[in-house]
Structure 1
Amino acid sequence: MDAAGNVAVNGSPAKGAAAASALIFLGTGCSSAVPNAMCLIQPTNPPCHVCHQSMSLPPERNPNYRCNTSLLIDYCSSDGGEHSYILIDVGKTFREQVLRWFTYHKIPRVDSIILTHEHADAVLGLDDIRAVQPHSPINDIDPTPIYLTQHSMDSLAVKFPYLVEKKLKEGQEVRRVTQLDWRIIENDSKKPFVASGLEFVPLPVMHGEDYVSLGFLFGERSKVAYISDVSRFLPVTENYISKSGDHQLDLLILDTLYRKGSHNTHFCFPQSLDAVKKLQPKRVLFIGMTHEFDHHKDNEFLAEWSRREGIQVELAHDGLRIPIDL
């Protein structure tokens, strides 16, 4: 880890090194984000330490302030060419994430978008993608490719009809809106796809027993799995990303909602740690946390857990940048 909090995976260079790929955590919080609004408008006695502390520090020194879960992949191919910027999920807090972290990490644009599912905390920032696209009052720009399942496509056609329609009706005014090139993917690990030069393998998982969400496996030299919304692993997915199965992961980025107990649609801390023991990745970063998690205190607990279990596990935080050899 360098002075700015950047952590290398598999010996990758620290921040600033030439032609390195990196993972940037734009958001690591739950759907309602942190601080929890109720902790501020109806404070308890004593007040919620995490929520009040999260409002007292600037973002670069504030790991308990958490926007909706989202990952930006700054991908540089092995030939050291141009960087591509691949965004996984565009939630309700996307504009804030652009203002905080695109500026801080000097991210100039978004080249591709991948959606895990169509819930609000993964898609309701799609309208704001126009803020990171070239300006054209008549929408005369190349659309940004967006990869999603047919189920998500059907849902977004209802949520955002003006982002899906391509032909103007008679008498309809041209309005400047986000330009997207919708590309359907399968929830099948045997059907990978390529976004901005990087291959992704879909990892279907249960997000509640009535709903399938997607995680994604990517990286050739470093295997990374990103699984943001999960309550149960399907056997095929568990086998695909486990040390005893097809791939031992260099890095697992995994959902953990509450500090204690369980939840019907998300892993919580106990289930997340059990999953880590089963999968045996080399390193783990948890995401999706509520205000029950105190970043520093819980990472102290995880440091001891990691020493005992032999797997490096930590809570991620908004703005975290990890150089990585993909």
Structure 2
Amino acid sequence: MATADHEVAENGNVEPPRSSLIFLGTGCSSALPNAMCLIQPSDPPCHVCSQSLSIPPEQNPNYRCNTSLLIDYCGGDHKYILIDVGKTFREQVLRWFTYHKIPQVDSVILTHEHADAVLGLDDIRAVQPYSSTNDIDPTPIYLSQDAMESIAVKFPYLIKKKLKAGQEIRRVAQLDWKIVENDCKKPFIASGLQFFPLPVMHGEDYVCLGFLFGERCRVAYISDISRFLPPTEYYISKDGGGQLDLLILDTLYKKFCLCYIAKICLQTLDAVKRLCPKRALLIGMTHEFDHHKDNEFLMEWSRREGIPVQLAHDGLRIPIDL
């Protein structure tokens, strides 16, 4: 009998365990349902948000927490790498860590320091071993220098400091802060997996990071973007650094979202066409996106353009060879 960490192939042989990507959240900063749609409902009510009152979240792909990806990296042992720790992190742990049997987080990567990416940092302690004296190995956390400076103001108690004589020990998340550069050519290693930073514009005066990872399958994860920087776009394009096996891309292009067909931003699909990945999954959706209806539109678009594209959903797990 195969163990829980192994799969049985069609020929009956036991295959080695595979890595996987788990979408902990696929929604916008305010998450879905939008609270205003529930406390001050429109007439007719918002179809996407009103579903949350009648359909359990685990059965409703329109129920979306803040964007976050968990990489279950199997390079021998399983290592769990978390990208972003937003406002809904505790809910994501209760819902999807338990469902997918995720025992811990081995490292954290941050795309930027906005609320939907970092305000769950305090709850990292919930996925760390318990110690009333904080006597545990800290979790490595990778972020830009700008993000580090902002987080030091938001969470001063999470930045390691020596206690003053007689000062009470308080149990807090133990984190080992590691600075990465906004440069595609300066990779870093997190829990044995190599990541290449992908700087993109998030608004016209703010640089956010996406990440490229995987050797057997090349995956680009870009959760917050208004515009590609030319070096980054070239680096992950089919004609530049080589074709991506999977592109995970934000649909919320703030500058261009006035122009929709079936509520899918045209600039998102134009970017997919330029990059030409083998497959793309879209994240960051507001309540303007209906999972079922918009995926029907995307199926038609995919057949026409030859690039499979769909909206992702919370809890989605994709086996992948990294």
Are 1:91 and 1:124, in contact at CA under 8 Å, matched by a contact in 2? Answer: yes
The 3-state SS of whatever aligns with 2:199 is: strand
Q: CA deviation at 1:57?
A: 1.9
Pick from 29, 34, 57 the counterpart of residue 36 of structure 1. 34
- Counterpart amino acid of residue 85 in structure 2: V
In 2: Cα distance, 1:215 partner to 1:261 partner: 20
- RMSD (Å), alpha carbons: 1.7
In 1: Cα distance, 2:54 partner to 2:321 partner: 35
1:41-120 counterparts in 2 under 5 A? 41-77=39-75, 81-120=76-115
More off after superposition, 49-58 vs 236-245:
49-58
Q: CA deviation at 1:271?
A: 1.2
The 3-state SS of whatever aligns with 1:299 is: helix
Q: CA deviation at 1:248?
A: 0.8
| 1:177–1:121 CA distance, 2 compared to 1 (3 A) | same
More off after superposition, 109-118 vs 242-251:
242-251
Q: Structure 1: where are the runs of 5+ without partners?
A: 1-10
| 1:178–1:56 CA distance, 2 compared to 1 (3 A) | same
Q: CA deviation at 1:247?
A: 1.9
The 3-state SS of whatever aligns with 1:156 is: helix
Pick from 149, 173, 176 the counterpart of residue 171 of structure 2. 176
Match of 1:187 in 2: 182
Tell me whether 1:288 sits opposite 2:290 in the alignment: no
Match of 1:121 in 2: 116
Pick from 299, 313, 317 the counterpart of residue 303 of structure 1. 299
Task: Render the CA deviation track for 1:132-165: whole Å, top value 9, x for unaligned.
Answer: 0000000000000000011110000000000003
Q: CA deviation at 1:241?
A: 0.4
Identity of aligned pairs, percent?
80
Pick from 206, 224, 230 the counterpart of residue 229 of structure 1. 224
TM-score, with length taken from structure 1:
0.91
Q: CA deviation at 1:229?
A: 0.5
The 3-state SS of whatever aligns with 2:98 is: helix
In 2: Cα distance, 1:195 partner to 1:291 partner: 34
Q: CA deviation at 1:72?
A: 0.1
Match of 1:324 in 2: 320
Task: Render the CA deviation track for 1:66-114: whole Å, top value 9, x for unaligned.
Answer: 000000000001xxx2100000000000000000000000000000000
Tell me whether 1:275 sits opposite 2:268 in the alignment: no
Pick from 160, 169, 172 the counterpart of residue 165 of structure 1. 160
Are 1:243 and 1:280, in contact at CA under 8 Å, matched by a contact in 2? Answer: yes
Q: CA deviation at 1:17?
A: 6.7
The 3-state SS of whatever aligns with 2:249 is: strand
TM-score, with length taken from structure 2:
0.92
- Counterpart amino acid of residue 91 in structure 2: E
Match of 2:250 in 1: 255
Are 2:220 and 2:244, in contact at CA under 8 Å, matched by a contact in 1? Answer: yes
In 2: Cα distance, 1:54 partner to 1:103 partner: 21
The 3-state SS of whatever aligns with 2:104 is: coil
| 1:175–1:255 CA distance, 2 compared to 1 (3 A) | same
Task: Render the CA deviation track for 1:149-199: whole Å, top value 9, x for unaligned.
Answer: 111100000000000032112332100000000001001011000000000
In 1: Cα distance, 2:17 partner to 2:117 partner: 29
In 1: Cα distance, 2:16 partner to 2:56 partner: 28
